[in-house]
Amino acid sequence: MELDPREQHLRHVEKDVWISKNMREKARERCSEHVENFTRCCKDSGILTVLKCWKENSALKDCLTAYYNDPAFYEEGKLEYLKEREEFRKIRVPTKQRLRKLPTNM
């Protein structure tokens, strides 16, 4: 059965797993300053991380949650996923393989 590349219907796993995964990755990129601050604090605090880094952790959670709860951000992730899926259905090569560099010693 051939799938239409332009099909817009999303399966459960696509909505709840693939798009969510993409959103988490994009949110972490957009909150990178908070991620770096929290990471630095954790490295400096050792076993007292929970006590010493609660401000950094809270700021990071607030930033990530703001993206997770933003309908426009979800729509952006959904459209990006649909575009990738359409490309895959056309050429049957996953995005990661298309983006991988060829060896220079060929």
Using one digit for the tens of pLDDT, what is the confidence trace for 52-94? 999 999 999 999 999 999 999 999 998 888 888 888 878 876 6
For tokens 């796993």, name the residue.
Answer: 13
Domain boundaries, the chain: 12-90
State the pLDDT confidence band at 49, using cuts at 50, 70 and 90.
confident
Determine the Cα–Cα distance for residues 97 and 13; give it in Å rounded to an integer. Answer: 22
Mark 8-36 as b/e (b = at least 16 C-beta within 10 Å).
eeeeeeeeeebbeebbeeebeeebeebbe
Q: Which residues touch 24 (CB under 8 Å, ≥6 apart)? A: 64, 68
